[in-house]
C-alpha cells in the first residue's frame, strides 16, 4: 500500500525522525536511542517513511542506514509554497493598510 507523504509527516515522531536523519544517515538503533519508545515502534515509523519515499535505505556491511530523500521533501515544499505566497500577499496588504492608516492619523 502506497501511503501519502502528508499522512507520513502528520505524525510528530516521524517528523522528528526526518529531522534527525536530515543531518546524517542513521541506523534504526541510533534513531531509536533518541526516543522514549521501542526499536519496533521506530521500525514501523521508518517503514512508513520508506513507503512514502521520504527516506531511503542503504546497506553498509551488516547495518542499514536511513537517510532523507531530498527530492521527495521538495514535493512537500512545493505544496506549502502556495500558502507562503498567499500569506505573504496578505501580510503585504496588511502592511500597506497600516501604513495608510498611520499616514491618515497624522
Record the cell numbers describing residue 61, joined without a space: 556491511
Residue of 45, 18, 47, 43 whose CA lies nearest to 29: 43
Calculate mean pLDDT across residues 80-105. Answer: 91
- Rounded to two decimals, what is the model's pTM? 0.76
User: Residue 64: pLDDT band by 50, 70, 90 thresholds?
Assistant: very high
Output the pLDDT for position 71: 86
What is the pLDDT averaged over residues 78-101? 92
Handedness of CA 51, 57, 59, 63 (dihedral sign): negative
Amino acid at each position: 500500500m502506497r501511503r501519502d507523504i502528508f499522512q507520513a509527516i502528520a505524525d510528530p515522531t516521524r517528523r522528528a525522525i526526518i529531522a534527525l536523519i536530515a543531518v546524517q544517515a542513521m541506523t534504526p538503533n541510533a534513531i531509536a536511542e533518541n526516543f522514549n519508545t521501542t526499536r519496533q515502534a521506530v521500525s514501523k515509523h521508518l517503514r512508513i517513511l520508506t513507503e512514502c519515499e521520504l527516506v531511503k535505505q542503504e546497506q553498509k556491511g551488516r547495518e542499514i542506514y536511513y537517510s532523507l530523500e531530498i527530492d521527495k521533501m521538495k514535493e512537500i515544499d512545493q505544496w506549502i509554497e502556495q500558502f507562503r505566497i498567499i500569506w505573504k500577499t496578505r501580510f503585504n496588504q496588511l502592511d500597506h493598510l497600516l501604513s495608510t492608516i498611520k499616514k491618515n492619523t497624522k
